[in-house]
Structure 1
Amino acid sequence: MTVGSPIPLAEIPHEDFQVWKGELSGDFSVRSAYKLLQESSFDPNFLIQADIKDFYNKLWNLQLPSKIAITIWRISWSYLPTLVNLKYKRVTRNVACPRCGREKEDITHIFRQCPVTVEVWHLSDLSWIIDSTIQGFWEWLTWVFKMSTTEQCKRICCGMWFLWRSGNILIHERKSETGRELSHKVKQYIAELEGLEERKSTSNMNCSHCHREPLNGVTITFDTAFNKRTFKSASGVVVWGRSGRLSATKTVLHTNVPSLFAAEALAGLQATRLGITMNLPSVTVMGDSRTIIKKCQSIEKDKSVIGAIIHDIQSKKICFQNIRFKFINRTDNLLAHKIAREALKKEEETYLVLVNEDSSLYPEGHWRREPD
């Protein structure tokens, strides 16, 4: 754990267990170790240069198909089986570019110098990227990403993928493609990606407020707001009655919260607690953190850094005749997010029950305000 980052403690005592902080599952992976090295700020010997971090952050945030993003990652490390690399591995002797036959087929020639490549970048309005005087391929690639907009980076990545793919088609299928044909394919592919994003957005809008539809029992939604500088968070909990109408809201402040991950889990715990307090026999608890919801659904012992909180949530399931945990999109959870954010900003806890809601939610004699 980082300095000043406390470990969440369980309400119900249980045996300690070892966890790996870098993965949500609590299990070690090389990927998470690499990520922790990127975030390291203690030993300069372990710091990864800023240009590397910026490049990969931008690459992974482009939301490209995995086949393209991974190919660009391989290009950045020169892990492609170019003819020059294959000769180094003693697989082939011929290193001449199969397209132009003029130069050796290395990573720089494929994506910067080949006449077909030059034509692709020119027709894609990206001719400026090959006008650079930067010699090293890695330095050139990071410079291109730094100088490009998000839309340009997408075109560059798709262009590189189609260039590499067309080279393989030429070698294995004896089919050649011109720079004009490739640039047209890049434009079509980008348009398809944008169309998919638009349809996905429309679909999410059509599904909005789905949690307000009548369910078998009451619905409780939860969300969190987290301040990583102060290690404080606020849980926002909203109760929807059987008719789908707003029934109650509650916010709870927390201190010494180690991470947003733990803050989300604490909000889930508060939602479960509120269901018990209101004597609800059947309830559906919903949140927009898919990982937290999966952990709450599981009956297995959670081995992650929030294992203590998940253990508390799981132990409270016996207080209900029926309890379900379900994932919802952020757009369907706006009220819980809003009240959590306002509670953290004002540093105030609130509890509000709407008395004109379904009276069956509140057994006779049950208080309608936070008890003293």
Structure 2
Amino acid sequence: MPSKITFTIWRISWDFIPNFANLRYMRVISNDRCPRCCSGVEESLHVFRECPMTTKVWQLLNLSWVMNNMSQNIWEWLTWVFKRSNNGQCLLFCYALWLIWFSRNQLIHERKNTTKRALVLNIQRHMAEYEGLKVLKNNESISRSYTIQEVILRRKIHFDAAFNSRIFRSASGLVGWYLRGNLMVLKMVIHRNVPSPFAAEAYACLEGTKLGISLRTHSVRLTGDSKTIIKKCQETSTDKSMIGAIIRDIQNKKSDFQELIFQYIHRSENSYAHRLAKNTLEKEDTTYLMGEELKSHAFASVENWPRNPD
């Protein structure tokens, strides 16, 4: 990246920028209100994450997930974003930080107020010039299909459970798909001392979340045929049911993703994961198959796995 941008990011990460909070701390000024929104103290996190102007910029850039982390330390927040970004998103994020600060200084020193959309277009233009891409044909609108950043790796994971009430044992069947419907991974897990069918489904969903993390996937859609489990995972309130501890484990892992979606599907649409779970419970065999290993497994044959699960 250009040195002017890397140097600015370095200054931001150490909070070495002359925002109003820092200037007031050094007794240079007395008013530390944000000059854009006038609703909060202009510290670094407010400038780059919390100001209404900035939040809209992240939304327009399809980077609204960077606001999911509410750390009160600028270094921790930047580190969290960088760890969860691919290369294209890192570049876009850094260009945005640089131009957000640049436009703020224009407002202070030149009384030039840049609109949110104009700022986003400016960020995209600089990014396009750096990447050697053509400038957008229509600079007056932001096309959602125009992606400077790399495509987010979206994956779909189907999960289901089989339960044996006689021995309190369950099996989780997980089927991972690529974005275009190609089979990516199979995972079968045995669980012991499982108290109920609901707990079995919850364990299967938890295993699906763990699988998404192990695949280093930015965006995952977890689909299952248990309305109860899906609804509990979608809620943000604390679950106080018998399976509350498992649901909390699932919800605590949301921060490992940019996007984690829980979706209910009918039993007929989840037949692959169901067959996998049932077969695993009968054989009591924990298995993880990916890549070339899939070809040797009976469930991964061409006849059993069509290209498009939808």
TM-score calculated relative to the size of structure 2: 0.45
Higher relative contact order (CA 8 A, sep 6+): 1
Bigger Rg, structure 1 or 2: 1
TM-score calculated relative to the size of structure 1: 0.37
